[in-house]
Structure 1
Amino acid sequence: MTPTQSAPSSTGDLHMSDTVAEAEAAWLVAITKGDEEQRALMLPDCVIVHGPVGNIHDRERFLTYNASMGTTLEAGTSEVTCREREGRAIVTCFQKMSIRRMPDLPSFLVQAVATRVWFATDEGWRLGHMQLSRRQPA
């Protein structure tokens, strides 16, 4: 199955630059590829707040946790908003991911409201903070 990418868009007067949109699109692809692809888009001191109980993880612990949840087959976003100022971009969206936990079982849908804080670096935009408010399946 190929990753589904909903092109990041602007809402109202909130504009997303092409480079931030590219970073967001790259992130959607990276979460379907694996740790190395995600790590390449994250700052070393990135902090992620996620899960139904509000886990707070550094980059490496999040990547380990995320890998243990299963393979993300597809990812897409909608209702994307962005505020960009002075080398920072805050992107908020509704995110859907199709995840396969077990090879013999069908995938399930994970929905989340995501906020990602991107920082402009010499290598391009890098993720410095992410918060995912997930609704887990029963």
Structure 2
Amino acid sequence: MTTTPSVPSSKDDIRGPDAVAQAEAAWLVAITKGDEEQRALMLPDCVIVHGPVGNVHDRERFLAYNASMGATLDAETSEVTCREREGRAVVTCFQTMNIQRVPDLPPFLVQAVATRVWFSTEEGWRLGHMQLSRRQPAV
């Protein structure tokens, strides 16, 4: 299981992750931080397919939607598989997030099967496509 790691970052560091595992770890941190951290890891033409109603969003629309859902307090992944070939990597995993949707209430648990497609660029690995398929929390 991978829990939200603390990945050092600096606004002066314009280079992104050099390995897919680092990109995945950075993504788990970014979704708990905010739009700018997520945007820095995404290609401008990134496409996100997510539920619960089957949205297909570009990067900016997804970031706005995601921000409206409440703060992601923590995230972790398990059962991670990675297939890397010729400058592309496909990562599939189970992802669990706790979302603080309403103040003063316990966080809302969201589980999803996630598939992320990363592209190797001169600036490091960048997210080009993501699909999140929500699932009922396991008991």
Q: Does 1:29 align with 2:56?
A: no
Gaps of 5+ in 1: 7-17
127-136 vs 80-89, greater mean Cα deviation: 127-136
Name the counterpart of 2:8: none
Name the counterpart of 1:135: 135
How large is the RMSD of aligned CA atoms in angstroms? 1.4
TM-score by length of structure 1 reads 0.86
SS at match of 1:64: helix
1:46-57 equivalences under 5 Å are 46-57=46-57
Residues 55-106 of structure 1 show CA distances to partners (whole Å, capped at 9, x for unaligned) of 0000000000000000000000000000000000000000000000011111
**Per-residue deviation at 1:136?**
6.4
SS at match of 1:90: strand
Name the counterpart of 1:9: none
Name the counterpart of 2:105: 105
TM-score by length of structure 2 reads 0.85
Gaps of 5+ in 2: 6-17
SS at match of 2:4: coil
Separation in 1, partners of 2:40, 2:48: 15
Poorly superposed stretches of 4+, deviation over 6 Å: none
Would you say the 8 A contact 1:52–1:136 is kept in 2?
no
Name the counterpart of 1:89: 89
SS at match of 1:27: helix
Name the counterpart of 1:42: 42
**Per-residue deviation at 1:135?**
2.9
Separation in 1, partners of 2:52, 2:34: 22
Separation in 2, partners of 1:102, 1:89: 36
Would you say the 8 A contact 1:96–1:111 is kept in 2?
yes
